[in-house]
């Protein structure tokens, strides 16, 4: 069917988006990126995003000659590329070194209350919460701060919480060379609290475990341990 007016095409696309806008389609736990995602350097991306964001602000009717607004397109573009979405680029992945488990520690090792600051890929609004990670060391252990860096890396991209949980899990399984890993994230989504239903009190909880953490007993032990109050430190 050939559409006589571009408006008709836009109208059909809008109807499709309205129907499917809240659906979470995903074919894998990989972030959906085009093959040419990194053909442009960061400076070029900032320049192009600045131009496009200026267009958005103009369409909204904002006066970009105002002292408070004229720098906003550049600030937003630089923030997108260098900060909140820098986890899209593999060059920014933290260098996580492991160490031999010389102590032969074989119980659960937990890093809890790791900050999660991400963006919902459906509305580009913040996701804010905490991640809890547990693993049972085999031959390798990792510096505790490196777990925080892995969470931060995968958080700094447009995300779905389910995917974020899986990405952290799969990375740690590969890095630590063990299947015995579990990841839990409890987060608030501003696309829920600031639009739509506008529910300020709810949060989203995701948990994914592998290896021994597929057993109910190990999963329950992990949940019990992260529930222990250590705020007195």
Q: Which of 50, 120, 159, 208 is catalytic?
A: 120
The chain-wide mean pLDDT, for the chain, equals 89
Annotated active-site residue 24? The verdict is no
User: Which of 111, 159, 167, 191 is an active site residue?
Assistant: 191
DSSP state of 118: E
pLDDT given for residue 5 in this prediction: 57
Catalytic pick from 123, 140, 170, 179?
Answer: 123
Catalytic residue, candidates 159, 161, 167, 208 = 161
Of 224, 213, 215, 205, nearest to 161 (Cα)?
Answer: 205
Q: What is the pLDDT of residues 190-204, one digit of tens each?
A: 888 788 787 788 899
CATH class belonging to 42-84: mainly alpha
Whether 220 is catalytic = no
**Span 158-172, pLDDT tens digits:** 999 999 999 999 999
Residue among 183, 57, 74, 165 at smallest CA distance from 118 = 165
CATH assignment of 98-226, among 3.20.20.70, 3.30.920.30, 3.30.2310.20, 3.30.1130.10: 3.30.1130.10
13 vs 104, more confident: 104
> How do residues 6-42 score in pLDDT, each as one tens digit?
656 656 666 655 655 555 555 568 999 999 999 999 9
Boundaries of every domain in the chain: 42-84, 98-226
What's the confidence (pLDDT) of residue 200?
A: 81
Mean pLDDT of 96-124: 94
Total-model pTM: 0.86
At 162, which helix (H) or strand (E)?
A: helix 161-176
Q: Which of 122, 140, 179, 221 is catalytic?
A: 122
Cβ proximity of 93 and 151 under 8 Å: no
Q: Which residues of 143-179 are buried (b: 16+ CB within 10 A; e: fewer)?
A: eeebbbebbbbbbbbbbbbebbbbbbbbbbbebbebe
């Amino acid at each position: 069917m050939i559409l006589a007016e571009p408006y008709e095409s836009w109208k059909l696309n809008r109807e499709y988006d309205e129907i499917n806008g809240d659906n979470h389609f995903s074919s894998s736990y990989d972030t959906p990126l085009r093959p040419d995602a990194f053909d442009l350097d960061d400076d070029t991306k900032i320049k192009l995003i600045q131009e496009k964001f200026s267009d958005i602000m103009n369409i909204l009717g904002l006066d970009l000659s105002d002292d408070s607004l004229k720098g906003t397109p550049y600030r937003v573009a630089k923030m997108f590329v260098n900060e909140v979405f820098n986890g899209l680029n593999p060059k920014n992945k933290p260098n996580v070194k492991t160490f031999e488990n010389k102590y032969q520690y074989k119980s659960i090792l937990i890093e809890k209350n790791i900050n999660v600051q991400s963006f919902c890929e459906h509305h580009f609004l913040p996701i804010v919460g905490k991640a809890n990670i547990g693993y049972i060391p085999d031959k390798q252990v990792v510096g505790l701060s490196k777990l925080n860096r892995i969470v931060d890396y995968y958080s700094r991209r447009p995300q779905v919480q389910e995917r974020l949980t899986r990405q952290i899990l799969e990375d740690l399984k590969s890095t630590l060379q063990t299947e015995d890993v579990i990841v839990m994230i409890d987060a608030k989504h501003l696309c829920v609290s600031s639009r739509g239903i506008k529910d300020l009190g709810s949060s989203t909880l995701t948990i994914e475990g592998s290896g021994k953490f597929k057993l109910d007993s190990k999963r329950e032990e992990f949940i019990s341990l992260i529930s222990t109050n250590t705020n007195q430190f």
